[in-house]
Amino acid sequence: MTIAQTSIRAVLFDFDGTLADSYPAITASVNYVRASHGLPALTEAQVRPLVGRGPERLMETAVGPNSVAADVAAYRAHHPSVMREGTRLMPGAVEALRALHRIGIKAGICSNKPVAFTRELIVFLRVAEFFSVVLGPEDVARPKPAPDMLLEGLSRLSLSAAQTLYIGDMVVDIQTARAAGVPVWVVPTGSDPEVKLAAARPDRVIRGLGDLPNAIENGLQ
């Protein structure tokens, strides 16, 4: 499936690892919770593969399964103290969003990150104006890889699956898009390496969001 064949009218993005490098902030909050259990700190490289399946799964895998609800609450309480200084846009993100806006293609976010954090960060990063919809796991019955979030995004944008492209950084994003019937591109800038992404057979692997404007000019119009 090519973009030229699908008449794309909107691009929905994952957040962590796709639009933004938020791993320093996530690692800091993970280690805050681990320290409360007397556990040693993890490196950012150790935390990175654990990100992307929601806060409950993050706490279960990074801290342990015995007190997930309390650990999620501790993570959420701590994260605002580090998330601004520990999050930056991925290279090419602003240019990609501007290119979409220039040719009238809507943009949105569908991420397993707590939605309040995502909404605060896009304001802080000065890109909120580009997004027509911002969704998180609180907005739907089931988080990714269930298709609920993408389907809710389509509903709010009044678009079909064939009119929408999803861009993520993980196999879970490919699974989500396939379940929703949405074409999917991935970037190897987040939690899963390129070889793992390619093996999951997305419609396209791009090096980063810096490749998106050229792809837009060549096929999204």
Give me the CATH code for the 23-81 domain, please: 1.10.150
**Among candidate residues 105, 174, 179, the one with its CA nearest the CA of residue 140:** 179
Residue range 35-79, pLDDT digits in tens: 999 999 999 999 999 999 989 999 999 999 999 999 999 999 999
Query: Which ranges of 82-189 does DSSP label H, i.e. alpha helix?
Result: 93-102, 115-124, 148-157, 171-180
User: Domain 3-21+88-220's class?
Assistant: alpha beta
| Alpha carbons 172 and 144: distance in angstroms, whole number | 7
| Alpha carbons 118 and 101: distance in angstroms, whole number | 20
pLDDT at 218 over 90: no
Active site annotation includes 14: yes
Residues with Cβ within 8 Å of residue 122, at least 6 apart in sequence: 109, 128, 131, 134
Q: Which pLDDT score is estimated for 213?
A: 80
Averaged pLDDT for residues 2-22: 83
Domain segments of the chain: what residues?
A: 3-21+88-220, 23-81
Q: What percent of the chain has pLDDT over 90?
A: 90
Q: Which pLDDT score is estimated for 6?
A: 45
Q: Which pLDDT score is estimated for 215?
A: 83
| Alpha carbons 148 and 135: distance in angstroms, whole number | 10
Averaged confidence pLDDT in the chain:
94
Residues with Cβ within 8 Å of residue 19, at least 6 apart in sequence: 13, 89, 90, 93, 109, 209
Residue range 102-152, pLDDT digits in tens: 989 999 999 999 999 999 999 999 999 999 999 999 999 999 999 999 999
Residue range 160-208, pLDDT digits in tens: 999 999 999 999 999 999 999 999 999 999 999 999 999 999 999 999 9
The arrangement of strands across the sheet holding 106-110 comes to 131-135, 106-110, 10-13, 164-168, 184-186, 204-205
| Alpha carbons 31 and 40: distance in angstroms, whole number | 8
The catalytic position among 14, 21, 71, 203 is: 14
pLDDT at 21 over 60: yes
Q: Which pLDDT score is estimated for 219?
A: 65
pLDDT band at 220 (very low <50, low <70, confident <90, very high): low
Q: Which pLDDT score is estimated for 185?
A: 96
Q: Which pLDDT score is estimated for 3?
A: 47
Count Cβ neighbours within 10 Å for each residue of 46-70 and write b for 16 or more, e otherwise: ebbebbbbbbbbbbbebbeeebbee
